[in-house]
Amino acid sequence: MTYNLDGKTAIVTGGASGIGRKTAERFAAEGANVVVADVVTDGGEETVESIESAGGSATFVETDVTDPDAVEAMVQTAVDTYGGLDIAHNNAGIEGETDPVAEQTEANWKQVMDINLTGVWLCLKYELQEMTANGDGDGDSDSDSDGVGGAIVNTSSIAGLSAAGSSAYAASKHGVIGLTRVAATEYAEADVRVNAVCPGVIETPMVEQSAAENPEEIEQFVGMQPLNRMGTPEEIANAVVWLCSDEASFVTGNAYPVDGGFTAL
């Protein structure tokens, strides 16, 4: 299925690889202008090159989502380059250390929370300011790069719906879902829809690193997914793009598992 995003402008954080890259590419393939944001410059620029080589429009901005000034500048880049902001996929995140609760370090807890939860909040803060800058709250779900309404998808995880993963990671991803629901209810009258996706075990660089360090744990999680395989970044991107399209115009405040059936058990 294809979605018409012609004339829309999208931001994707964590766009240098994995789910972020595939989502950015899919947004562009649907006609959107894409701001690719990441702390990894080389990977972010590669994503832009991939989009442009396929005939799409994209620009890269180096962004640390824990830095309010950097996040504000990221949103301003969308406005300055493409005239506004319609769509955002707040995807940047890390796994962190996987030690049990009593063995977690304060430094790891803080880093995971800063990136995975505070980073999503900062992105929402500045994205919502732009999306509602001239909103009239008339209930019209259409948006036209003019600061009126929009759609946002945050990346949570199956760890946000279960006890999967380490304590810091699971707590941060549960927090993303709570933040998503509150933002959705607070900004519904401003025509902004806010949802979350909850990926299962997906073939991403983060999972590949975890598999190298804890192969038995990854195999166990894959085995708990009834489809009995890893998902692909493209499959998560498909869900994100649908949620940001007019096909999902009556969908907000939800956390969607894309997990091969993991949370159904």
Q: Which residues are catalytic?
A: 169
One-letter amino acid at 134 equals N
- In whole angstroms, what is the distance from residue 136 CA to residue 189 CA? 8
CA of residue 122 relative to chain centroid, distance: 13
The CA angle 41-156-172, to the nearest 5 degrees, is 90
Q: Fill in the DSSP letter of residue 91.
A: -
* Dihedral of the alpha carbons of 233, 214, 155, 115, in degrees to the nearest 10: -130
- In whole angstroms, what is the distance from residue 90 CA to residue 201 CA? 19
CA of residue 91 relative to chain centroid, distance: 3
DSSP secondary structure, 193-239, as one string: EEEEEEE-SB-SHHHHHHHHH-HHHHHHHHHTSTT-S-B-HHHHHHH
Half-sphere exposure of residue 123, counting CA atoms within 13 Å on the CB side? 36
